[in-house]
Structure formats: structure tokens, C-alpha cells
Amino acid sequence: MNDFIFASYYPHCIADYFVMSVTERLFCYAEPFSFLFSEQGCAIKMLPAAYEHGDEDIFMMDVIKCQLNPRRKIYGEGVDLSLLNESVGHEVLAFHQKFPDYCVTPLRSLPHLSTRLGLGSIHVKDESQRFGLNAFKGLGGSYAVGKYLAEKLGQNINTLSFSSLNSPEIKARIKDIVFVTATDGNHGRGVAWAAEQLGLQAVVYMPKGSSLIRAQNIRHHGAECSITELNYDDTVRLANKMAQEKGWVLLQDTAWQGYEQIPTWIMQGYMTLAIEAWEQLTKSGAPLPTHLILQAGVGSFAGSIMSYFLEKMKARAPKIIIVEPHKANCLYRSSVVNDGQPHSVGGDMATLMAGLACGEPNITSWPMIRDYASCFISADDSLAANGMRILASPRPGTDAPFISGESGAIGTGLLYELMSREDYRGIIEALQLNTDSHVLLISTEGDTSPDIYEDIVWFGRNG
């Protein structure tokens, strides 16, 4: 163990020098600062462990900020994951298979990219073809609608079919139900679509700055949709207020104290994606993942997918890397503060990755992520843009191109950045990313905002 002295170089530092003991851990934490070390033991990043909203501009020169999880536990020693085990997942899958539009979405292999990056393999689950919605979110919304209606009707969801829900007798009993939610686009569209399948009403609120085309896509399914002047988390509070005042059913994809059942159903709904990916890997003879990179907003999606793989693989489970936008990095910040509690981000959280612009962690998924994630990464928007271009335009004759949107491609952009720059050697060694690694990524959306997609892929926006 060696001691290193580092001069502080931000104007609001409380001392001129800090002395820290450096262990083998890549990311060392010391109140009130966190230091990121290179493999030579040199500090290459320094930032406050907890800083107020508005300080982000100080740190935006950092493309990647990484925090190895100081609270990570081995499988079985952390929070219980039985709500997201394999038997629950197969119940969810059976429900989704009853929808006429159900089909298994592609799992795309990228052998050329994996060779170029010095990895064993890369697979990307492409959710742009899910239910014709161009994103995975319909899985959660539809299952939550199904579970809610099953309970209201006194039935088991295993016996509830799409055709029975559309029978005249059942429709007469549920016709006055109105679902309400807040969304950046994809979740709201999934809820609107699920309600449309059953002839029910949906009301959707969107945060300030939301894409007009995403709002139009929601209205296309018969929902009432409006864009507010609020950030995402305040828009969630608005949806909750309207549900209470009007007797609507809040169908939100994040949980808080006293509102946990429906968000849990939504998380369970996402498990169809994980089961499909598992079966596609095993049936093709591909190696099981050693690394799982999951993008996160409130953490519902990440908690769901990682829990399935943890329950399935147990001690052999992959290393789980959580990635968020710099301006909405509530899980990263929660890990840096390191008190075991979720911590929030305020402000408008303006990021290219609109689907991840969430400032308050889901209290159900946070303990799962806190206990089992390998590391937390806060990433610049440019990585999402690079990921979109990489997937859209591989070298001719190599990997097949496909469309991935801003929130869908961040995992690819992050992986490319990590494996392509000497600056990050310490991170990739700590995460054991090498030629024996098999990485699974999830492209959660396609071009849900085509104009933005073209600006990025065709014209180099956020380059």
C-alpha cells in the first residue's frame, strides 16, 4: 500500500492537498472526494462524493466517470430476488405470447466488433421490433395491465387470455378504467398500446422538452397525451396527483413508499426480454455472458434483467455494469455517497438519452442494483451518439447494421470507448474485460425520434 498526495484543482475544494492510501481498487472513496486511479496508481479523475445540482458543468469534460461498487455482494448474500426468478419470468412470457403481435426480438452477434475491441464476443438484443412499438417498454406496461385486470376480475393471470379480456362480459366490467402515467415516450406508448388492445382509456403526461413525434406516437394509440413544463420526476408526481383526484389507475414504472405493487409488475414484465436472450444464446451455442451492460433511468429495467441472470446463473452470474447519463446519474451518485440509500438528481436533466433522464431511483430495484452491480458508470451523451453510429454503419461485409436509438446504444458506445482508449486500462482490468469476455448488451429502442436519429447518424450531432 502506498500513499499519494494530490493537489486539489477545483475552486470549491476545502483543502489544498489530500493524502490517500491506494489499494488495488480502481476507484477509492474518501469523504468528501472520490478519486479515479489509473493502473499506475495516478489520479486521473477527482470529483466530490456528493455535489449539488448545477455543479455538473465542472465535470462535463469527463466522458466517463466510474465507481466500482463498494457494497457488492456475492450471489445469495444480498437482497432477495425471488420476485424476479425464473418461474415468475415464464409466467410473464406465457402472458405476452398470447398477444397477436408477439414475436421474439432478434439477438444480434457482432463478431467483427468484438474482435476489433479485443473481446470474446458481443451480442445485442434488438428491441426495436417489440410489438411494433420500436422499444421494449410495452412488455412492462402490458403485463402490469394484465395483472391489474386479473386482480380486479378475481382471476389468475395464467388463465387470462387476450380474447377473454375482449369478451363483451369482461369489457362491460372494465370499460370505465382509465390508466394514467408519466413518460419520456417509450413507457407511455407501451401503456397506451396495452390500453388500446383492450379498448380502454389512457392519459399520458410527458416532461418538458419531450419529442413531439413521441407524443404523436402515443396519441396514435388513442391516448390523451400532453407535454408539461416539468422535469420527469415532477411529471410523475403530476400523474400520481391526477390519479388520486380522478380515480384513475396510476401505471408508473418506478416505485416509492406506498406505491410498489404496480412497478413490481412492470419490472416483471421486462423479464420476457431476458428469457428470450437466454434461450437465444443457449440454442445458438453461444457462450453465456460474462458481462452485462445495462442502461438505467430509475433502475427498473436494469434491476429486472440483472436479477433474472443472477437467479439463473447464481455464482456464475456476469459482472453487471450500470450506465447512466451524466445529468441523470442518480444510481452512480447513490453509489458514490456510499451510505446504502438511494440519492436523487434535480433540475431538468437535459440529456440526449431521454429515456434515461430520471433523477429518483426506484426504491424496489435500488437494493438489487446496490447489492449486485459490479460498477456504476456516468457517461457523456457523445457515447450514446457514437454507439448509434457504430451499430448503424459497420464496415461493409462485417457485422450486420441495425437501428438503435439514443437510450438503446449507450452500452455499445460505452464499450467501444472503454476498449479503445489507453486511459481506461485500469477500468477494463478491474472489470476483467478481455479476450475471454462475452458481453451482452440490450438495445432498448430503435429510432423513436427519427429526426434526432438522422441528426446523429447522418450529420454527426454529439460527435
pLDDT digits (tens, 9 = 90+) for 317-365: 999 999 999 999 999 999 999 999 999 998 888 999 999 999 999 999 9
* pLDDT tens for each residue of 131-140: 999 999 999 9
Q: Could you give the CA distance from residue 12 to residue 113 in angstroms, rounded to a whole number?
A: 42
* pLDDT tens for each residue of 9-59: 333 332 322 333 333 333 333 333 344 443 333 333 434 343 343 443 333
Same fold flag, 82-134+268-457 and 138-266: yes
- pLDDT computed for residue 348 by the predictor: 84
Phi, psi (deg, nearest 5) at residue 245: -70, -35
Q: Could you give the CA distance from residue 446 to residue 208 in angstroms, rounded to a whole number?
A: 22
The amino acid at residue 441 is L
SS3 179: strand
* pLDDT tens for each residue of 286-300: 999 999 999 999 999
- pLDDT computed for residue 446 by the predictor: 98
Dihedral angle of Cα 301, 154, 94, 167, to the nearest 10 degrees:
-110
> How many residues make up the chain in this entry?
463
The 10 Å Cβ neighbour count of residue 12 is 9
> Could you tell me if 273 and 125 are in contact, meaning their C-beta atoms sit under 8 angstroms apart?
yes
**Closest of 111, 107, 106 to residue 394, by C-alpha:** 111
Q: Which three cell numbers stand for residue 207?
A: 416532461
Is the four-CA dihedral 173, 131, 318, 328 of positive or negative sign?
negative
> Could you tell me if 205 and 181 are in contact, meaning their C-beta atoms sit under 8 angstroms apart?
yes
Matching residue, cell 425464473 = 86
Q: CA triplet 148, 182, 224: central angle to 5 degrees? A: 85
User: Any idea where the domains of the chain sit in the sequence?
Assistant: 2-49, 82-134+268-457, 138-266
In the CATH hierarchy, which fold is given to the domain comprising 82-134+268-457?
Rossmann fold (3.40.50)
In the CATH hierarchy, which fold is given to the domain comprising 138-266?
Rossmann fold (3.40.50)
SS3 225: strand
Q: Could you give the CA distance from residue 146 to residue 165 in angstroms, rounded to a whole number?
A: 9
> Could you tell me if 439 and 115 are in contact, meaning their C-beta atoms sit under 8 angstroms apart?
no
Q: Could you give the CA distance from residue 299 to residue 295 in angstroms, rounded to a whole number?
A: 8
Q: Could you give the CA distance from residue 331 to residue 359 in angstroms, rounded to a whole number?
A: 9
Catalytic residue list: 137, 184
Q: What strands lie across the sheet with 107-109, from one edge to the other?
A: 64-68, 375-379, 319-325, 291-295, 438-443, 121-126, 107-109
**Closest of 44, 40, 52 to residue 12, by C-alpha:** 52
SS3 2: strand
* pLDDT tens for each residue of 203-256: 999 999 999 999 999 999 999 999 999 999 999 999 999 999 999 999 999 999
Q: CA triplet 396, 411, 298: central angle to 5 degrees? A: 150
Find the helix packing angle between 212-219 and 186-197, rounded to 10°.
10
